[in-house]
């Protein structure tokens, strides 16, 4: 730590271990397949690059700070009200803004034990106290979350499906959680992986946001839409929350190229469906192969699987890396005996299966 004797940030900031993204290099390997950040192995829909390049011609101009065209496009696709949508530089920005706006010193931000790391980091950055509720079978336990609520709780974050476990809680449980919140608390449903869920009628939490005034949903263009590099996300919520987020965000928080690419991406529903179906096929195939190789796998609704590697985690990781396969260590999520493997294309999935089988055979 590089601490100055007198010039210090607010309490909590120096407790933050900076977020370390998925690795992207494997020294010595002649072919590298990155499966460490849950990105779309097929990239964005083909029309997106044209929209991006067209927008690049206007780099001298500020973007539309109201994100109007993109909000209308999102609203059209999901059947929402454009005025209840706000866009951000990735859903990470929206998570951070929610913490900044609603939680400060003395307040609590609640999430589940293996929840997405940014909830804790954003709570600390806002000066609030992060609180983690226990899970059951690597799945958020709504009763434990309800039990951990207090008068100081301001925000409850729940990713559904969750990263890195891939597990979900059902709509009835979510409604129960929303109904149990103290009057000053807001439930944030993080639906970053909602498009990958194959349960009929799954809406990422839209119906719950509609039914209540204490629930907001966040979404991202980084996963199924294949636009992680551009940093683009959005939130749908009650008017009072959208109003607050519009007050605390930067006036031009989303770039013009991201807005244009996002508009093209959200309009290609066939591509989204194609990626979701392909992901399901290879996720299920890989899960079976990984189990057959002797490793536990948590059933996942996302574009990744959590593999139980126990005491051999470092060795398995090194073995994969020696074959150019970069996966994610998840000790920072309280899971030192697991590896998270993003679902790649056929080549990537087959390479992981081969590597794990050969590791199993060699051990």
Ligand X SMILES: Cc1ncc(COP(=O)(O)O)c(C=O)c1O
Give the residue with the Cβ less far from ligand X, 225 or 321.
225
- 293 is a contact residue toward ligand X (CB under 6 A): no
Give the residue with the Cβ less far from ligand X, 80 or 98.
98
Distance CA 96, CA 321 (A): 33
Q: Is 136 helix (H, G, I), strand (E, B) or coil?
A: strand
- 92 is a contact residue toward ligand X (CB under 6 A): yes
CB-count exposure of residue 353 (10 Å: 0-12, 13-18, 19+): middle
Where helices occur in the chain by DSSP H, the ranges are 47-56, 68-78, 90-102, 117-125, 142-147, 171-180, 206-211, 239-248, 256-266, 269-292, 313-322, 346-362
Distance CA 10, CA 8 (A): 7
Give the residue with the Cβ less far from ligand X, 12 or 88.
88
- Part of the chain binding ligand X (CB under 6 A), chosen from 68-76, 77-85, 89-97, 170-178: 89-97
Q: Determine which residue in the list 116, 196, 295, 359 makes contact with ligand X, applying CB under 6 A.
A: 116
Give the residue with the Cβ less far from ligand X, 205 or 233.
233
Binding mask of the shown chain, residues 216 to 235, with x at each position contacting ligand X by CB under 6 A: ----x-x-----x----x--
- Least Å distance, CB 90 to ligand X, is 3
Distance CA 78, CA 324 (A): 39
Closest CB to ligand X belongs to which residue?
90
Distance CA 282, CA 339 (A): 17
Per the structure block, which two tokens stand in for 50? 């044209």
Binding mask of the shown chain, residues 1 to 40, with x at each position contacting ligand X by CB under 6 A: -------------------------------------x--
Give the residue with the Cβ less far from ligand X, 192 or 216.
192
- Least Å distance, CB 328 to ligand X, is 10
Positive or negative, the CA dihedral 254, 258, 263, 269 is: negative
Phi, psi (degrees; rounded to nearest 5) at 183: -55, -30
- 190 is a contact residue toward ligand X (CB under 6 A): yes
Give the residue with the Cβ less far from ligand X, 327 or 355.
327
- 45 is a contact residue toward ligand X (CB under 6 A): no
Give the residue with the Cβ less far from ligand X, 45 or 163.
163
Residues 130, 117: contact at Cβ < 8 Å?
no
Q: In Å, how far are 77, 138, 194, 262, 344 from 268, measured between CA atoms?
A: 10, 34, 16, 10, 21
Q: Determine which residue in the list 36, 129, 153, 163 makes contact with ligand X, applying CB under 6 A.
A: 163
Give the residue with the Cβ less far from ligand X, 21 or 201.
21
- Part of the chain binding ligand X (CB under 6 A), chosen from 6-14, 86-94, 146-154, 177-185: 86-94
- 192 is a contact residue toward ligand X (CB under 6 A): yes
- Least Å distance, CB 243 to ligand X, is 22
Number of residues located near ligand X, criterion CB under 6 A = 13
* Residue carrying structure tokens 């979900």: 168
Give the residue with the Cβ less far from ligand X, 138 or 228.
228
Phi and psi based region of residue 26 (left: phi greater than 0; alpha: psi -120 to 50; beta: remaining)? beta
- 309 is a contact residue toward ligand X (CB under 6 A): no
Q: In Å, how far are 5, 290, 335 from 295, measured between CA atoms?
A: 49, 6, 15
Distance CA 329, CA 338 (A): 7
Give the residue with the Cβ less far from ligand X, 293 or 330.
330
- Part of the chain binding ligand X (CB under 6 A), chosen from 85-93, 260-268, 317-325, 336-344: 85-93
* Total residue count of the chain as it appears in this document: 363
- 159 is a contact residue toward ligand X (CB under 6 A): yes
- Least Å distance, CB 145 to ligand X, is 16
User: Using CB under 6 A as the criterion, which residues of the chain lie in contact with ligand X when the complex forms?
Assistant: 38, 90-92, 116, 159, 163, 190, 192, 220, 222, 228, 233
């Amino acid at each position: 730590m590089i601490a100055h004797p007198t010039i210090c940030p607010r309490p909590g900031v120096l407790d933050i271990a900076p977020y370390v993204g998925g690795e992207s290099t494997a020294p010595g390997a002649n072919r590298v397949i990155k499966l460490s950040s849950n990105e779309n192995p097929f990239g964005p829909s083909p029309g997106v690059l044209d929209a991006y390049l067209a927008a690049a011609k206007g780099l001298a101009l500020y973007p539309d700070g109201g994100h109007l065209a993109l909000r209308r496009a999102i609203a059209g696709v999901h059947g929402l009200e454009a005025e209840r949508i706000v866009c951000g530089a990735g859903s990470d920005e929206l998570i951070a803004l929610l913490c900044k706006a609603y939680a400060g010193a003395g307040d609590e931000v609640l999430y589940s034990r293996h929840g997405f790391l940014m909830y804790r980091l954003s709570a600390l950055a806002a000066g609030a106290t992060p609180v983690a509720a226990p899970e059951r079978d690597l799945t958020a336990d709504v009763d434990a979350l309800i039990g951990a609520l207090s008068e100081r709780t301001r925000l409850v974050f729940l990713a559904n499906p969750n990263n890195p476990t891939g597990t979900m809680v059902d709509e009835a449980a979510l409604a129960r959680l929303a109904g149990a919140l103290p009057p000053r608390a807001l439930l944030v449903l993080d639906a970053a992986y909602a498009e990958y869920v194959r349960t009929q009628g799954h809406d990422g939490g839209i119906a719950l946001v509609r039914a209540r005034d204490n629930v907001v949903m966040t979404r991202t263009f980084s996963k199924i839409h294949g636009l992680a590099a551009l940093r683009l996300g959005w939130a749908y919520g009650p008017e009072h929350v959208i109003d607050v987020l519009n007050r605390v965000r930067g006036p031009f928080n989303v770039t013009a190229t991201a807005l244009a690419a996002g508009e093209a991406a959200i309009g290609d529903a066939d591509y989204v469906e194609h990626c979701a179906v392909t992901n399901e096929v290879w996720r299920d195939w890989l899960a079976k192969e990984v189990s057959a190789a002797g490793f536990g796998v948590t059933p996942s609704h996302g574009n990744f699987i959590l593999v139980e590697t126990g005491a051999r985690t470092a060795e398995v990781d090194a073995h994969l890396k020696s074959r150019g396969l970069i996966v994610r260590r998840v000790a920072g999520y309280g899971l030192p005996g697991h590896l998270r493997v993003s679902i790649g294309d056929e080549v990537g999935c087959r390479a992981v299966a081969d590597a794990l089988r050969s590791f199993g055979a060699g051990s």
